[in-house]
Amino acid sequence: MPWTLKNLGCVDSNVLEWWKVERNSSVSFKTIEEQNREMLTDRLVGDVAVRLERAIAKRGRATLALSGGATPGPFMTQLGKVDLDWKNVFVTVSDERWVPANHPRSNHRLVNETLFSGRAKAATFVPLYQEGMDRHHAVVPLSERLTRDVLPLDVCVLGMGEDLHTASLFPGVEGLARALDPSCPTPLMTLMPATINEPRMTMTASALLNAHQIHLLIAGERKEVALIKACKTSDILTAPIKAILDGPAPVTVWYAP
């Protein structure tokens, strides 16, 4: 029988359950699978909204990190319409291309066009890009603001590439081992993916794994296959997402075909 999210463990579209994969190593995380992406988006929006609301009620503020790419766009748009006390929410991204906010490849721009197109425009955005500054010199001031305003994260919504990267933690990138080290002293690093001539600023594993909740949003059969591949390996340098799945933070994988 081929490996699928269904036969790897207990997956129920109505109830959150733990499931475990045991091959070269073991991982544990929750999973939710829905019949289509619209239903999945609805459930994820509800979950994130409740967590943000609870954080505001408890501490007077909430923090949220989002990812780029095509998959999270509809989720971000719908979340932005929710009636929350957005003025007390601080939003950032898990990684950013080193481009201005109006650049087509900017994750900040994606947030502006989706999440901030609705009620969420009252939230405070904490960028991972600094206009007019060299990216290497920007690591410290951006890290200081991220630590002051956002960390630890209440909710972190990540994506995953078919190459098993998450955020800008790409296999083969120089500096990856340090970026994946849970004891890395800085929440941000600037990396240059080996296959993409596009410098990035990314949260390190030490920042991501301190989140109160991590959601991994994936869609489509190719991402399902990639996740299964990640579960079968013990090498986080070839499968950086495995460092998140195996980390101490609670992780829920959200999947639809």
Summarize pLDDT for 209-233 with one digit per residue, the tens.
999 999 999 999 999 999 999 999 9
Given a cut of 50, whether residue 153 has pLDDT beyond it is yes
Summarize pLDDT for 139-151 with one digit per residue, the tens.
999 999 999 999 9
CATH number of 30-256: 3.40.50.1360
Give residues with Cβ within 8 angstroms of 216, minimum separation 6.
Answer: 29, 158, 159, 160, 166, 241, 244, 245, 251, 252, 253, 254
Pairing of strands 17-22, 26-33: antiparallel
Summarize pLDDT for 115-129 with one digit per residue, the tens.
999 999 999 999 999
Gyration radius of the chain over CA positions:
17
Given a cut of 80, whether residue 66 has pLDDT beyond it is yes
Q: Name the strand (E) or helix (H) holding 31.
A: strand 26-33
Q: Check residue 17 and give its pLDDT.
A: 36
Q: How far apart are CA 129 and CA 98, in angstroms?
A: 6
Given a cut of 90, whether residue 14 has pLDDT beyond it is no
Q: Check residue 1 and give its pLDDT.
A: 33
Positive or negative torsion for Cα 213, 106, 126, 118? negative
Mean pLDDT over each residue of the chain, to the nearest integer? 91
Give the number of C-alpha atoms closer than 13 A to the C-alpha of residue 65, restricted to the C-beta side: 33
Q: Check residue 254 and give its pLDDT.
A: 98
Whether 232 and 23 have beta carbons less than 8 Å apart is answered as yes
Name the nearest CA neighbour of 227 among 66, 31, 14, 35.
31
Q: How far apart are CA 80 and CA 205, in angstroms?
A: 27
Confidence of residue 179 (pLDDT cuts 50, 70, 90): very high
Confidence of residue 24 (pLDDT cuts 50, 70, 90): very low
> What percent of the chain has pLDDT above 90?
86
Q: Check residue 196 and give its pLDDT.
A: 81
* Distance from chain centroid for Cα 93: 8
**Window from 14-18, 23-27, 81-85, 172-176 with minimum mean pLDDT:** 14-18
Name the nearest CA neighbour of 220 among 70, 17, 87, 23.
70
Confidence of residue 20 (pLDDT cuts 50, 70, 90): very low
Q: Check residue 215 and give its pLDDT.
A: 98
Q: Name the strand (E) or helix (H) holding 53.
A: helix 37-59
Give residues with Cβ within 8 angstroms of 195, minimum separation 6.
Answer: 170, 172
Q: How far apart are CA 247 and CA 257, in angstroms?
A: 26
> What percent of the chain has pLDDT above 70?
89
Q: Check residue 194 and give its pLDDT.
A: 80
